[in-house]
């Protein structure tokens, strides 16, 4: 509320009129998801043309072939190696000298010493690996007509249809979250023959066929001296309507069937980050027995229903032009986001689809490729890079009403707090826990790759801000109590390791770096990069708030509050920019357009910096963004779009989004190109679209804060704001028509439209509806 009393009267009047418009909660839009489809006129040739299905744990890339169909298969615990402890036992003795060199300004020397003595053993982590392929061969299929394949984001079913030799073929693929199988169903209007095979690129993998089942068993790979300790199994069970199934070597042949159903189960012996002794052969058999007993029709119906429960919570309509009737690949190639607003809406729907398909309760978190990877040695090991990428994967989760999908991330932090406690103790002699810039299935937390990338201690702290966000959006105190020890442990590590900057007396991280940017002193490592200080301000504040809400741990909270006040502040440099480092190095850093914009964390995803409360810092952030430039790799482009949305410059955010949606950054299957494929850009882009339409900060909800002129008319329903409420917005001609806010808890909110604001009182079960004209009077 503004402090000017006359203005306050005016606003209270507006609030009263808004409160009078309390209406019953409406049902979710019936038309949800009706246009949400990717579709093509030809089968996929490249992997980045194939369509992903997934149930969080199991994934398949569907190529939509005709005579030969390929499903590339993944299971999210098939990684190289086994439980391992990468902490370098000698690191602790060398740490003081590295710190001293940094304080003395001898950065290159400090980095060389850190590279020699501090890095993890091995200096890399484990890699996510594919299981193999399911192959369907239909001999005799020649030229086809009336071909189409699509992925329906509203049912989560990939479909391929074509006519060959006068027979119409139809194939469906889906991944069942309840029954834990991937199902392929082939039907035709005349009896047909098909051969079914399983293959794997893992050395030593074996395929056998018996009765109506194919079984693939194998062993995960070794990497960097960590022996493979996992077994894996994939089984494909075949059933038919009519016809006969015969085993033929390591494949199954079906003759004269009218429909064929293949149910695929996959598992590894992974049980937890410290235990790889499960029984995948038995687990896959049990899964298939259960699925068989329950029946495919029921499994299919339940898959659609379970998907819709999540997917239909949000609807987005940005308007539609004729180009939206074209196949998806043509729309990306046309590269005209202004003329195709529905492509941005499809990208948004797809981002939500991908999160539902790659991160569900009980699964692993979405990695650099979600769960979809066809390579034994994938780029960056397809692991969890926590200096931006893993966090970005979860940027859309809360705002687009997919809170359940964060469960694997929260569970991963619980595990990192265990392995990271060991790293904190052995490497730093510190209490609490730490995670550097990457982790993997085994929850390794030591610094890797090289000091210039890996010696960054703030990854775990950043992940903890997601724990807080889960609370802040859902306001569940029992949950907060369960994650408080993790947040506390992360903060405790910094209480023990923060150093006093000899130049300023402020507290700084040392050694650290600003991911992954080299400063003009010829190194990355330094003390107190702006990002670290911003993340720690959030972590310390959130620990304080959590302790107060839970009425526990007051002495610790007080200690954290004291340290928080001593953290080095943000600085504005000579170019008017927000400084990336404690020194004003930005102008002479060797890569002025570096993809990471770490020092802008404070503007987004954090709200420490904003146009209202810290206008000078927001201006400086804007200047930094201008200096950094707009176009970057996939995720870095998506981050920039979010930052411009926070600066409430919708047209600028849209220009960046247009580049993200064009053929340089988006593959035909709408996967984000880093390049190569990295899924974070999909998730970051999804959040950016949400951020352009609605932002929430504390008890404020900002309507259409960055609406671009390219989206003059549209509507969104079901976005989530902090404090457990849902927000719908409808606009026309660039102006708000109506907004509806449904609070599930009682409380006051300030609803803002540009500079206008109205205070409303939320009551569970009632909707507050605001017309554009109400806000125009405010
Ligand atoms: C960080 C980024 C790279 C890439 C990798 C997985 O190291 O700097 O661009 O995204 O993660």
Span 279-303, pLDDT tens digits: 999 999 999 999 999 999 999 999 9
CA distances from 387 to 509, 527, 643 (A): 15, 17, 17
Write the residue with the smallest CA distance to atom 11 of ligand 1.
385
264 sits in which H/E element: strand 251-268
605 preceded by a cis bond (ω within 30 of 0): yes
**Are residues 401 and 720 in contact, defined by beta-carbon separation less than 8 angstroms?**
yes
Is it the case that residue 403 has pLDDT exceeding 80? Answer: yes
> Position of tokens 């027995």?
289
User: Distance, CA 390 to ligand 1 centroid (Å)?
Assistant: 10
The H or E element containing residue 8 is helix 5-19
Yes or no: say if 217 and 295 are a contact pair by the CB < 8 Å rule.
no
Q: Which atom of ligand 1 is nearest to the CA of 633?
A: 9
- For ligand 1, mutation pick of 369, 370, 373, 380 (most atoms within 8 Å of CB): 380
Residue 141, H or E segment? none
pLDDT exceeds 70 at position 30? no
| Percent share of the chain, pLDDT over 90 | 93
CA of 710 to the centre of ligand 1 (A): 31
> Are 749 and 760 in contact, with CB atoms under 8 Å apart?
yes
Distance 115 CA to ligand 1 centre (A): 19
DSSP designation for 379: G
Q: Rounded mean pLDDT of the chain?
A: 95
Tally of CB atoms within 10 A around 564: 18
Structure tokens at 51: 């369509």
| pLDDT at residue 33 in the model | 43
Question: Can you tell me the distance from the alpha carbon of 355 to that of 378, in angstroms, rounded to the nearest whole number?
Answer: 20
CA 176, 182, 187 angle in degrees (round to 5)?
Answer: 105
Q: Which residue, among 203, 264, 207, 302, has the nearest Cα to 75 in the 3D structure?
A: 264
| Token digits of residue 293 | 């007993």
What spacing in Å lies between the alpha carbon of 775 and ligand 1's midpoint?
Answer: 43
Ligand 1 mean position, distance from CA 391 (Å): 12
For the record, the structure tokens of 420 come out as: 């990271």
218-228 b/e (C-beta count within 10 Å ≥ 16 → b): bbbbebbebeb
CA distances from 467 to 15, 359, 408, 457, 621 (A): 33, 16, 11, 18, 26
Q: How far apart are CA 439 and CA 384, in angstroms?
A: 5
CB-based pocket (< 6 A), ligand 1? 368, 380, 385, 389, 516, 595, 633, 674, 678
User: What would the pLDDT profile of 560-614 be if each residue is shown by its tens digit?
Assistant: 999 999 999 999 999 999 999 999 999 999 999 999 999 999 999 999 999 999 9
| 294, 297, 302, 303: CA torsion to nearest 10 | 110
Structure tokens, 159: 């479909």
- Measure the CA–CA gap between 110 and 100, rounded to whole angstroms: 8
Query: Considering only 18-32, 108-122, 197-211, 423-437, which range has the smallest mean pLDDT?
Result: 18-32
For range 78-97, the mean pLDDT:
97
Residue 491: is its pLDDT beyond 60? yes
Mean pLDDT of 427-447: 98
Closest approach atom of ligand 1 to CA 368: 6
Nearest Cα residue to 424 out of 520, 495, 375: 495
Structure confidence at residue 252 (pLDDT): 98
**What is the rounded average pLDDT of the residues 61-69?**
98
From ligand 1's centre to the CA of 364, what distance in Å?
20
pLDDT tens sequence across 335-376: 988 899 999 999 999 999 999 999 999 999 999 999 999 999
CA of 399 to the centre of ligand 1 (A): 25
Q: From the CA of 367, how far away is ligand 1's center (Å)?
A: 12
Residue at token pair 């072939």: 65
Q: What is the pLDDT of residues 440-485, one digit of tens each?
A: 999 999 999 999 999 999 999 999 999 999 999 999 999 999 999 9
Mutate to test the pocket of ligand 1, among 379, 388, 515, 518 (most ligand atoms within 8 A of CB): 388
Pocket test for ligand 1, best of 128, 373, 385 (most atoms within 8 A of CB): 385
Q: Which residue bears the tokens 């490497």?
A: 427
pLDDT of residue 29: 36
pLDDT band at 277 (very low <50, low <70, confident <90, very high): very high
Confidence check: pLDDT of 12 > 80: no
What does the alpha-carbon distance between residue 317 and residue 393 come to, in Å, rounded to a whole number? 23
Ligand 1 atom nearest to 680, measured from its CA: 10
DSSP 442-511: T---S--S-HHHH--TTHHHHHHHHHHHHHHHH--HHHHHHHHHHHHHHHHHHHHH-EE-TTT--EE-SS
User: CA 694 to CA 736: how far, in whole Å?
Assistant: 12
If you take atom 8 of ligand 1, which residue's CA is the nearest one? 516
CB atoms within 10 A of CB 551: 7
Nearest atom in ligand 1 to the alpha carbon of residue 516 is 8
Q: How far is CA 245 from CA 135, 167, 171, 453, 631, in A?
A: 16, 21, 19, 54, 54
> Is the pLDDT assigned to residue 45 strictly greater than 50?
yes
Residue 10 scores a pLDDT above 50: no
Mutate which of 516, 518, 598, 637 for ligand 1? The one with the most ligand atoms within 8 Å of its CB, which is 516
Cα 495 to Cα 530: distance, rounded to the nearest angstrom: 18
Q: Is the pLDDT of residue 7 over 80?
A: no
Q: Which atom of ligand 1 is nearest to the CA of 453?
A: 7
Nearest alpha-carbon partner for 136 in 205, 71, 187, 216: 71
- Residue reference for tokens 């003009």: 520
Mean pLDDT confidence for 416-425: 98
Bridge partners of 163, per DSSP, are 145, 168
Cα 63 to averaged position of ligand 1 atoms, centre (Å): 28
* Residue 738 φ then ψ, to 5°: -160, 145
Query: How far is the centre of ligand 1, averaged over its atoms, from the C-alpha of 438 (Å)?
Result: 10
Query: DSSP string of 661-722?
Result: TSTTTB-TTSPBBSSSB-THHHHHHHHHHHHHHEEEETTEEEESTT--TT--SEEEEEEEET
Given a contact cutoff of 8 angstroms between Cβ atoms, the answer to whether 127 and 383 are in contact is yes
Atom of ligand 1 nearest to the CA of 379: 6
Nearest ligand 1 atom to alpha carbon 380: 6
Mean pLDDT of 748-754: 96
CA of 125 to the centre of ligand 1 (A): 14
Query: Which string of b and e fits 277-310 if b means at least 16 CB within 10 Å?
Result: ebebbebbbebbeebbeeebeebbeebbebbbeb
Q: Retrieve residue 671's tokens.
A: 């996967």
How far apart, in Å, do the first and last CA atoms of the chain sit? 12
* Residues 63-82, mean pLDDT to the nearest whole number: 98
Residue 18 has pLDDT above 70, yes or no: no
The answer to whether residue 16 scores a pLDDT higher than 50 is: no
**CA atoms lying within 13 Å on the CB side of residue 724:** 13
Query: DSSP 3-state assignment of 373?
Result: coil
- 542 CA to middle of ligand 1, Å? 27
Atom of ligand 1 minimally distant from the CA of 635: 10
Q: How far apart, in whole angstroms, are the C-alpha atoms of residue 38 and residue 21? A: 39
Residue 466, CA distances (Å) to 391, 457, 556, 649, 685 in order = 8, 17, 21, 26, 18
Contact (CB, 8 A) for 573 and 619: no
Tell me, in angstroms, the distance from the centre of ligand 1 to residue 451's CA: 15
Distance CA 732, CA 64 (A): 40
State the distance from the centre of ligand 1 to the C-alpha of 595, rounded, in angstroms. 9
Question: Do 360 and 680 form a contact (C-beta atoms < 8 A)?
Answer: no
Give the Å distance between the CA of 589 and the centre of ligand 1.
19
C-alpha of residue 597 to centroid of ligand 1, in Å? 12
Give which of 214, 181, 198 is closest to 292, Cα–Cα: 181
Residue carrying structure tokens 């744990």: 57
Say how far apart CA 236 and CA 71 lie, in whole Å: 12
Starting at the edge strand that comes first in sequence, how are the strands of the sheet with 700-703 ordered? 694-697, 700-703, 747-753, 756-762
Confidence bin at 770 (pLDDT 50/70/90) = very high
Atom of ligand 1 nearest to the CA of 437: 7
> Assign residue 250 a region: left if phi > 0, alpha if psi is -120 to 50, beta otherwise?
alpha
Q: How far is the CA of 674 from the centre of ligand 1 (A)?
A: 9
- Sequence-distant (6+) residues with CB within 8 A of 317 are 345, 714, 715, 716
Task: Give the atom of ligand 1 at the shortest distance from the alpha carbon of 636.
Answer: 9
């Amino acid at each position: 509320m503004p402090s000017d009393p006359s203005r306050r009267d005016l606003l209270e009047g507006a609030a009263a009129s808004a409160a009078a418009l309390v209406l019953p909660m409406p049902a979710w839009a019936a038309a949800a998801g009706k246009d949400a489809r990717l579709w093509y006129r030809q089968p996929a040739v490249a992997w980045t043309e194939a369509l992903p299905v997934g149930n969080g744990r199991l994934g398949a890339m569907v190529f939509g072939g005709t005579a030969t169909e390929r499903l590339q298969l993944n299971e999210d615990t098939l990684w190289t190696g086994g439980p391992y402890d990468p902490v370098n036992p000698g690191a602790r003795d060398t740490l003081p000298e590295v710190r001293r060199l940094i304080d003395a300004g001898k950065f290159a020397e400090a980095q060389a010493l850190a590279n020699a003595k501090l890095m993890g053993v091995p200096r890399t982590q484990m890699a996510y690996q594919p299981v193999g392929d399911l192959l369907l061969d239909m001999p005799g299929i020649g030229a086809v007509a009336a071909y189409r394949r699509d992925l329906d984001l509203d049912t989560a079913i990939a479909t391929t249809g074509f006519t060959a030799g006068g027979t119409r073929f139809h194939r469906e693929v889906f991944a069942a979250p309840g029954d834990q199988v991937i199902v392929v169903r082939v039907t035709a209007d005349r009896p047909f023959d098909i051969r079914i095979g399983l293959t794997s690129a893992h050395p030593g993998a074996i395929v056998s066929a018996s009765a109506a089942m194919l079984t693939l068993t194998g062993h995960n790979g070794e990497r960097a001296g960590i022996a493979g300790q996992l077994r894996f199994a994939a089984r494909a069970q075949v059933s038919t309507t009519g016809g006969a199934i015969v085993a033929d070597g390591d494949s199954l042949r079906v003759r004269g069937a009218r429909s064929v159903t293949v149910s695929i189960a996959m598992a590894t012996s992974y049980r937890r980050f410290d235990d790889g002794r499960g029984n995948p052969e038995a687990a896959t058999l049990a899964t298939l027995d259960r699925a068989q007993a329950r029946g495919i029709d029921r499994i299919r119906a339940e898959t659609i229903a379970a998907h819709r429960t999540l997917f239909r919570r949000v609807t987005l309509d940005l308007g539609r032009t004729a180009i939206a009737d074209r196949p998806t690949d043509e729309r990306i190639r046309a590269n005209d986001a202004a003329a195709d607003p529905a492509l941005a809406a499809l990208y948004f729907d797809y981002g939500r689809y991908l999160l539902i398909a790659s991160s569900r309760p009980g699964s692993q978190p979405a990695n650099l490729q979600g769960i979809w990877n066809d390579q034994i040695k994938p780029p960056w090991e397809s692991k969890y890079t926590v200096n931006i990428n893993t966090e970005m994967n979860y940027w859309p989760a809360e705002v687009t009403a997919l809170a359940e999908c964060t469960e694997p991330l929260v569970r991963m932090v619980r595990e990192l707090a265990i392995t990271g406690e060991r790293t904190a103790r052995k490497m730093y002699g510190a209490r609490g826990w730490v995670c550097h810039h990457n982790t993997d299935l085994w929850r390794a937390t030591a610094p890797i790759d090289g000091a210039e990338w890996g010696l960054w201690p703030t990854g775990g702290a950043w992940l903890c801000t997601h724990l807080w966000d889960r609370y802040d959006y859902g306001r569940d105190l029992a949950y907060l109590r369960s994650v408080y020890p993790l947040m506390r442990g992360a903060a405790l590590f910094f209480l023990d390791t923060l150093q006093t900057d000899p130049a300023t007396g402020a507290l700084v991280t040392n050694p650290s770096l600003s991911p992954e940017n080299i400063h003009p002193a010829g190194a990355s490592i330094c003390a107190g990069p702006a990002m670290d200080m911003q993340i720690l301000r959030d972590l310390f504040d959130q620990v304080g708030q959590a302790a107060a809400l839970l009425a526990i741990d007051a002495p610790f909270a007080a200690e954290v509050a004291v340290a928080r006040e001593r953290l080095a502040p943000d600085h504005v440099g000579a170019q008017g920019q927000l400084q990336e480092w404690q020194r004003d190095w930005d102008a002479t850093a060797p890569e002025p357009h570096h993809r990471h914009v770490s020092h802008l964390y404070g503007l987004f995803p954090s709200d420490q910096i904003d146009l209202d409360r810290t206008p000078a810092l927001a201006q400086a952030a804007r200047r930094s963004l201008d200096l950094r430039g707009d176009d970057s790799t996939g995720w870095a482009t998506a981050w920039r779009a979010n930052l411009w949305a926070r600066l409430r410059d919708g047209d600028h955010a849209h220009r960046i989004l247009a580049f993200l949606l064009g053929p340089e950054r988006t593959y035909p299957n709408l996967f984000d190109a880093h390049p190569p494929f990295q899924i974070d850009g999909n998730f970051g882009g999804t959040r950016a679209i949400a951020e352009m339409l609605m932002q929430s900060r504390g008890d404020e909800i900002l309507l259409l804060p960055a609406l671009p002129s390219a989206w003059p008319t549209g509507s969104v329903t079901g976005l989530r704001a902090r404090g457990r409420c849902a927000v719908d917005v409808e606009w026309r001609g660039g102006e708000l028509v109506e907004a509806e806010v449904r609070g599930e808890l009682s409380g006051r909110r300030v609803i803002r439209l540009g500079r206008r604001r109205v205070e409303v009182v939320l009551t569970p079960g009632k909707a507050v509806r605001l017309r554009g004209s109400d806000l125009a009077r405010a």
